[in-house]
Each structure stands twice: as C-alpha cells, then as structure tokens.
Amino acid sequence: MSEQVSGLLTIGVLVLALAAVHVPLGDYLARVFTSDRDLAVERAFYRLCGVDPRSSQRWSRYAVSVGAFTVVSLVFLGALLMMQQHLPLARGASMDWHTAVNTSISFVTNTNWQSYAGESGASALVQTLGLAVQNFVSAAVGIAVAIALIRGLAARHTGTIGNFWVDLTRAVVRVLLPIAFVGAVVLLAGGVIQDLSAPQTISTITGGHQTIESGLVASQEAIKELGTNGGGYFNANSAHPFENPNAFTNLVEIFLILVIPFSLPRTYGRLVGDKRQGLAVVGFMAFLWTAMLVVITWAEQAASTSPTGAMEGKEVRLGVWASALFANSTTATSTGAVDSMHESYSPIGGGGALTNMLLGEITPGGVGSGLYGALVVAILAVFIAGLMVGRTPEILGKQVGRKEITYAALYTIVTPALVLVGTAAALVVSKAKAGMLATGPHGLSEMLYAYASASNNNGSAFAGLTADQPYLNLTLGACMLIGRFLPMFLVLALAGAFAAQHQRPTTEGTMPTHTPLFSGLMVGVALLVTGLTFLPALALGPLAEALS
C-alpha cells in the first residue's frame, strides 16, 4: 500500500467516523442544554453551590458569572503553580512567576500554550489537579457561551440566554466527562500511560541510562484533545510516545479533537429548529478544513520528495500524511497539541497551520469557540450579502442592526489586532528577538505564529522560539487573556441583543442562511477578511520563504 492510499484511507475513516457521530452527538448536546431535568449529582452540586438551576440570566449576568469563574480559576491555578515545589509529588518541579502567570492564563483560556517543559516544569499534582481540571472547565465555558449565543438567536423576545452555572455543570458532567472517560480508556489500551509512581531510571542493555517517565497521562490526554486544549503532559506533546504511542491512538486523538466542534453545528441546527442551518455551518467548516488539509498535505508531500524529505520533526510511526492531518486539525481547532514539530514543516505547510489560526479557528474551531466564531462570520456574511436582497440584514429572523454589527465587527477585529500589534512589537524588542531560533522570513513566521497561537487560544508553537522569558510570557499571556474573553463577552452581548428581539417570520424575501450558497458566502467572507488583514504578514513570512 502506498503512502498516499494509506493517508487517504486514514482521512476517509476519520471523516466517516465524524459524519456518523456528529448527528447523534449533536442531538444529544441539544437535549443536554434544553432539558428541564437535573441529574441527581447535578442537584447535589447546585445545592452545594447555592445555584438556582431554573433561573435564566440576562447576558450581562451571564458574563459576570463567566468572569467570576475565570477569576477564581486564574487565582487557584496560579497559586497551585507558584507553590508546586512545596506540594506533594513535586519532584523538583518549580516555576518562575512570569511563567506561572503565563501558564495559568494559558490553561484558563483554553490556549494551553506552554513556555515550560512538562517533564520538569509541572509536577504530577499540578498537572492533574490544576491543568487537567482547566482542560475540562475551560472547554465547558466555551461550550456554554456558544449555547448562550444559540439561545439568543432562538429566543423570542425573552432577553435571557440561560444559566451559566447550569451550562457549565452540564457541559462537564454530561458531555466532557463521559466522552473523556471512554477516550482515556481507549488511549490507555493503546499504550498511553496512567501511573502515579515516580519516574524510573533504568539501565539499557548497552549500559546507558534512560528515564522512563510516569504520570496520569491517559486521563489528561483524552480531555486535552476532547476539550481542544492541547497542553501536553510532556514537552513533545502528542509526538511523545507515552502520549501518542501509535498510529491508532493518533487517529483517536484527531477524532477526539474534532468530534465536539463538528457536532455543535448540528446542536445549533436543532436548537434553532432548522437542521439545515447547522448543515450550512458544518459545510462551511468542513470545506475550509478540507481545503487547508489539502494545502498542508500537498506541501509536506511535495517536500518529502526532496532528498532530505519531510521527516524532520516527524515520527516514523505516524508518517507524513497522519502528521499533516493532525497539524491541520489541531490548528483548525483551538487545540494546539502537536504530533510533529510545525516549525520544521515546509514554508507552505507551516504557513497553512498558521493560516488556520489566523482564520480565527473556526474550521471547525475550538469547542464552543469555533461555533460562535463561525456564527459571527455568518452574521458578517448576512450583513453584507443580506443588503443585496433588499432587506435589512437578518439571521434566523433576528435583525443585524447597529448594536449587533458593532459587537460582531469588534469581535472580528480583536484577535487580528492582537496578532499584528503583538508580532510587530516583539520584532523590535531585543529581549523578544533573543528568544528566536529562526532567521529571515522564517523568523517572522515564528514570531507571527506565537502571537497568532496565543491570541486565537491555539497553543501550538513554532517551538524554536524560547518563550520562557518575562517579555514573551507576559505579552503572550495578555494576548491569550484578551483574545479569549473580549470576544467571548462580545458574543454574550450579541446573544443578549438577539435575545431581546422579536423573531421575524421567514418568507420568500428572507435571505436563506441554510443553503450551500450561504456556506460559500461564509467561506468567502472568512477568507477575504483574513486575507486582507494578514496578506502583508503572510507575504513577508511563509510566502517569501516559499518563493525564495
């Protein structure tokens, strides 16, 4: 079997699995977030936490809840990281304050950018009790906000968008936890470790020594992918054999990365009462995901015919195709886990991964964040194209007026502004430049990738950049924090604005948002906005490198 056939079959199996699962999972998610009944364990939760699960919040209160939860998360995780050397299972792990600030922001924002090395920088206790917990809850926050936006669109003049505490709890208890458990057991069976004993130093048969690491990896690996987090237990992330032992676990991990983001459009379609709406969004996501997969795979495949091949930074057990598939999926979502080193990719291959992030990670994007990002693109598409059918633009019967377009436009501008300003500033700060590995146009790509990854909450890196220094830790931390929560609050405001509106009936004169044409329009808007914003930067980075 040739590499191409193997690669295409792998992609085919993945796509079939996603196609099969997204319908029942999407429907299940829709039921989870509309059900009137609480599980016994959830009732106990609500009593314990003093939450009235039946009260629905206005967007501002929902946002306050998100904010309060974030602050608590940041403080708790930051403290845990700063104190880890005094806690059990430390084994010498400790962190600088600026690294701790960066790391706690990174995990709370679902970015999982790591300027520390997992093996030496974070203790087993911190990994499990701090980082893995954020893998769950940061993902749940994303899902909750996406559901809130859908509720706003579906609401009939109610003004409220649901209860954050209930959404958060249900996302964790009913969605992430069961799937992660199954995923963890599958990965465990595939060879991912789950062990709390101390790392073992062994003597090899040649008389050398090697450390065999330990840790609760399987449980963390599953949620790392499922929650599109991406923070590796080990420095090499999913390239590490203990995180990703073989091509089967590799495929399972890619599946886990994509399964919720590709199912949420179905949930959206269900909740707004028109499955075709979800189909249009998933069509948009799938088209760009496929297109970028073609670009990255083609670039790497082309590079692999050169004498040195494309195997630098890739594992033999995975090969070029599966690595490219992983790279495309991890950057098209907000995951950022890597099973190969993106910086060693060909200019266009690495540039493709970069472009996925610059698109705003909406193809299909992070859990929740991908859907709300895609819906903002839909709103922009509706606004511009909607005028062309001669009506005030509306989406699902909700007008896109002054308020709505303000929120959507600001949403669109936040991450590009962070990326461009962050990169431009770092390239003139000598302390930041000192951390760079690459030179020439690839150096620009390296820095651009870092700020694109942080601002879009991806977390993958052109890892040649030595980011564990105050300037980069703090500016990237700021990008992660602003890049996560400013758009999120704008989305909640948008949800509130939609929820306050009457729903207009659909007529022949309404611009349809469920057609392939509309999916195509979304593709056009996403590409145009990203292209126009980043073409100069991409020309000076990946394109210049590729064309020289």
Partner 1 sequence: MSADRDEDTSEERARPAVEERGTSNLMRPAIENEGTTNTMSSLTTQAVESLPGALRKADPRHLVRQPVLFVVWISAVLTTVLACIHPSWFSFLVAIWLWATILFANLAESVAEGRGKAQADTLRKTRATATARRITYGGGEEEVPAAELKLDDRVVVEAGQVIPGDGDVVEGIATVDESAITGESAPVVREAGGDRCAVTGGTTVLSDRIVVRITARPGETFIDRMISLVEGAERQKTPNEIALGILLTVLTIIFLLAVATIPSLAGWNGPKPSVLVLVALLVCLIPTTIGALLSAIGIAGMDRLVQRNVLAMSGRAVEAAGDVSTLLLDKTGTITLGNRQAADIIVVGDGEASEVHRLAHLSSLADETPEGRSIVDWTADRLGTHHDSPSGATVVPFTAQTRMSGVDLPDGTQLRKGAAGSVCRLVRESGGAGADEAMAIADRVSADGGTPLVVSVGCEGGATDAVGVIHLKDVIKPGMVERFAQLRRMGIRTVMITGDNPLTAKAIADEAGVDDFLAEATPEDKMRLIRTEQEGGRLVAMTGDGTNDAPALAQADVGVAMNTGTSAAKEAGNMVDLDSDPTKLIDIVGIGKQLLITRGALTTFSIANDLAKYFAIIPAMFVAIYPGLDSLNIMRLHSSNSAILSAVIFNALIIVALIPLSLKGVRYRPLRADQMLARNILIYGLGGVIAPFIGIKIIDLIVQFLPGM
Partner 2 sequence: MTTSSLTIGRQTLAALRIFLVLTVLVGVLYPAAVWGVGRVAFHDQATGSQVSVDGKVVGSSLLGQQWKGAQWFHGRDSASEYAGDVSGGSNLPATDKRQQDAVAAREKALAPLGGNPPPDALTMSASGLDPHISPAYARLQAPAVAKARGLQLAQVQRLIDDATKGRVAGFLGDERVNVLQLNLALQQLSGTK
- Per CB under 8 A, contacts with partner 2 among 241-270 are 241-242, 245-248, 250-251
* Residue 163 binding target from partner 2, partner 1, none, CB below 5 to 8 Å by type: partner 2
Indicate if the alpha-carbon torsion angle 327, 473, 422, 133 is positive or negative.
positive
Measured in whole angstroms, how far is the alpha carbon of residue 247 from the centre of its chain?
A: 22
3-class SS letters over 133-199: HHHHHHHHHHHHHHHHHHHHHHCCCCCECCCHHHHHHHHHHHHHHHHHHHHHHHHHHHCCCCECCCC
Using CB under 8 A, pick the residue from 15, 17, 23, 311 that binds partner 2.
311
> Per CB under 8 A, which of residues 356..415 are in contact with partner 2?
none
> Per CB under 8 A, which of residues 148..187 are in contact with partner 2?
163, 165, 168-169, 172-173, 176-177, 180-181, 184-185
How many residues can be counted in the chain? Answer: 548
Q: Which residues face 202 on adjacent strands?
A: 210
> Among 138, 139, 152, which residue's Cα sits nearest to residue 56?
152
User: Which amino acid is it at 334?
Assistant: S
Residue pair 320/519 in contact (Cβ under 8 Å)? The answer is: no
The rounded distance, in Å, linking the Cα atoms of 79 and 90 is 14
Q: How far is the CB of 472 from partner 2 (least distance, A)?
A: 16
The rounded distance, in Å, linking the Cα atoms of 14 and 27 is 20
Using CB under 8 A, pick the residue from 81, 101, 137, 296 that binds partner 2.
137
Q: Which is nearer to partner 2, 279 or 454 (CB)?
A: 454
Binding range to partner 2, per CB under 8 A, among 26-34, 62-70, 256-264, 506-514: 62-70
Q: Which is nearer to partner 1, 239 or 414 (CB)?
A: 414
The rounded distance, in Å, linking the Cα atoms of 428 and 433 is 7
* Residue 387 binding target from partner 2, partner 1, none, CB below 5 to 8 Å by type: partner 1
Which strand (E) or helix (H) includes residue 209? strand 209-212
* Residue 463 binding target from partner 1, partner 2, none, CB below 5 to 8 Å by type: partner 2
Q: How far is the CB of 34 from partner 1 (least distance, A)?
A: 22
Q: Which is nearer to partner 1, 317 or 504 (CB)?
A: 504
Which strand (E) or helix (H) includes residue 68? helix 59-82
Q: How far is the CB of 64 from partner 1 (least distance, A)?
A: 26
Using CB under 8 A, pick the residue from 15, 32, 89, 188 that binds partner 2.
188
Residue 2 binds to partner 2 (criterion: CB under 8 A): no
Residue 234 binds to partner 2 (criterion: CB under 8 A): yes
Q: How far is the CB of 165 from partner 2 (least distance, A)?
A: 6
Cβ-Cβ contacts under 8 Å for 368 (sequence gap 6 or more):
139, 141, 142, 143, 144, 145, 146, 147, 264
What count of Cα atoms within 13 Å lies in the side-chain half-sphere of residue 406? 6
Angle (nearest 5°) at CA 274 between 375 and 389: 65
* Residue 528 binding target from partner 1, partner 2, none, CB below 5 to 8 Å by type: partner 1
Q: How far is the CB of 463 from partner 1 (least distance, A)?
A: 19
> Per CB under 8 A, which of residues 420..449 are in contact with partner 2?
437-440, 442
Q: How far is the CB of 404 from partner 2 (least distance, A)?
A: 25
What is the 8-class DSSP label of residue 124? H
In the complex, which residues of this chain contact partner 1 (CB under 8 A)? Answer: 380, 383-392, 397, 400-402, 404-406, 409-410, 412-413, 416-417, 420-421, 423-425, 427-428, 439-441, 443-444, 447-448, 502-505, 507-512, 515, 517, 521, 524, 528-529, 531-537, 539-541, 543-544, 546-548
Backbone angles phi, psi at 439, to 5 degrees: -125, 175
* Residue 512 binding target from partner 2, partner 1, none, CB below 5 to 8 Å by type: partner 1
CB atoms within 10 A of CB 393: 22
> Per CB under 8 A, which of residues 39..58 are in contact with partner 2?
45, 48-52, 55, 57
> Among 190, 204, 325, which residue's Cα sits nearest to residue 244?
190
* Residue 517 binding target from partner 1, partner 2, none, CB below 5 to 8 Å by type: partner 1
> Per CB under 8 A, which of residues 208..227 are in contact with partner 2?
208, 210-214, 216, 218-220, 222-223
Binding range to partner 2, per CB under 8 A, among 65-73, 143-151, 272-280, 505-513: 65-73
> How much is the CA Rg of the chain, to the nearest whole Å?
22
Residue 456 binds to partner 2 (criterion: CB under 8 A): no
Residue pair 288/523 in contact (Cβ under 8 Å)? The answer is: yes
Residue 107 binds to partner 2 (criterion: CB under 8 A): no
